[in-house]
Amino acid sequence: MDREQLMGYVRNQMPERRWLHTQGVMETAVRLAKQYGADPEKAELAALLHDLAKYWPIDKQREMVRVHGLYPDMLDYDDVLLHAHVGAYVAKTELGIEDEEVLDAIRFHTSGREEMTLLDKVICLADYIEPGREFPGVDGIRRLAERSLEEALIAGFDSTIRYLIAQGKKIYPLTVLTRNSLIDQLRGQ
Ligand SMILES: Nc1ncnc2c1ncn2[C@@H]1O[C@H](COP(=O)(O)OP(=O)(O)O)[C@@H](O)[C@H]1O
């Protein structure tokens, strides 16, 4: 599929407000990629595809994670985590995306992972700060994004972890490991 076909495909998978979010993530990811030296084309592609499975029925997502062995430990946590792995799987097997860097950035855009690549960081942060986002603290994260990907991402994960604690929800541990790893990176370890 070419870029226009992929845009049409993704747009058909989601309601209009999520398509606006996707476009916001694309613009922000390209800007961050240029600012921090990642590949803007890969950033735009990963951003376009990152939420493609977000509105797929949860039963279908759970089934795909089980059947295809996509990070099955996620099945014990919030279902919202699944769409990232399902999206990467669909991008690879149905949309012909072969670039593993792009696929990983889709795969880990919600949870993060230890030793995130530059592209992973760009997509994850763009998802937090695209212009349509309005959660408490988002402007502070936007300001941090002007000087440090890592500081901004830590603030983003802090906000997610605080939210999960306030809701009494379980925290998928990879996000905690991701945050620890980003703190080590900031300290130059
Ligand atoms: N480590 C985690 N453990 C459990 N749930 C998480 C974790 N990280 C993120 N989430 C859930 O995922 C949501 C964010 O997912 P995301 O794909 O960015 O959705 P949206 O784009 O709608 O904000 C958080 O609000 C939280 O509910």
Q: What is the ipTM of this complex?
A: 0.94
> What are the per-10-residue average pLDDT scores of the chain (189 residues)?
96 98 98 98 98 98 96 94 98 98 98 97 98 97 98 98 98 98 92
| pLDDT attached to residue 8 | 98
Pocket of ligand 1 (CB under 6 A): 77-78, 80-81, 110-111, 127, 160, 163-164, 171-172, 175
C-alpha separations of 30 from 37, 67, 109, 146, 166 in Å = 10, 34, 15, 14, 33
| pLDDT attached to residue 189 | 65
**What pTM, to 2 d.p., does this model score?**
0.97
Q: Which residue's CA is the closest to the ligand 1 atom numbered 8?
A: 111
Task: Work out the number of other CB atoms within 10 angstroms of the CB of residue 175.
Answer: 20
- Joined together, the tokens standing for residue 142 give 């936007």
Give the atom of ligand 1 at the shortest distance from the alpha carbon of 167: 27
| pLDDT attached to residue 150 | 98
3-20 b/e (C-beta count within 10 Å ≥ 16 → b) = eeebbebbbebbeeebbe
